Amino acid sequence: MTTTAKLHVREGGQDLFYSYADLMAFHGFGFPGGVAHGFKVLERALPLLAGGEAPERREIHIQTAFRGPGARDAFEMVTRSLTENRYLVDAALERPDLGETLERYIFVLSYRGTTVRLQLREGLVRDEFIALGRKADRTAEEELRLTYLKQEMAERLLATAAAKVYDVTYSSS
């Protein structure tokens, strides 16, 4: 399953467009679900940050409780936020009250005085995926299952509208 959606940002006033396939080519093959999360976060947040226009990518700041390399690479490719120190993984953003499955899927993006906070909706990440991903010393069978779950999650996320994947819990200017 692939999506034809494109993320739209600008750099120095020039348009840049990124597909999920572009982000996967940058990331590699290890964490397709994380790349899909990064794609969906940006698909949801970018229009909100700049009033429906494409924001300047080098002015976007990202804070998250999510530690995955797939999302990190997606954010880096689109915004260059990791390289330019505008990307921060912050455990203080975790929401343990949401349970182990959802607690780290928190993303706060800021741009020119506008901040949006995104929270993953329930039912999009399987408890089994979280448990296997956090398990030390996985068996070969468990590794195969985890690989399947990563790809299955990516496909499910890409087939779902961004507004149905991530809720915006607040927005301020």
Give residue 2's pLDDT. Answer: 56
Specify if 34 maps to a domain.
yes
For 25-72, how does the pLDDT look when each residue is reduced to its tens digit (9 = 90+)?
A: 999 999 999 999 999 999 999 999 999 999 999 999 999 999 999 999
CA-CA-CA-CA dihedral for 15, 169, 40, 28, to nearest 10: 100
Specify if 166 maps to a domain.
yes
Return the closest-CA partner of residue 42 out of 122, 107, 126, 113: 107
Domains: count for the chain = 1
Specify if 1 maps to a domain.
no
User: Whole-angstrom Cα distance, residue 3 to residue 66?
Assistant: 23
10 bridge partner residues: 15, 56
166 bridge partner residues: 120
Determine the structural domain holding residue 95 and report its residue range: 6-172
For 7-24, how does the pLDDT look when each residue is reduced to its tens digit (9 = 90+)?
A: 999 999 999 999 999 999
Give the CATH number for residue 15: 3.30.1330.130
For 116-171, how does the pLDDT look when each residue is reduced to its tens digit (9 = 90+)?
A: 999 999 999 999 999 999 999 999 999 999 999 999 999 999 999 999 999 998 76
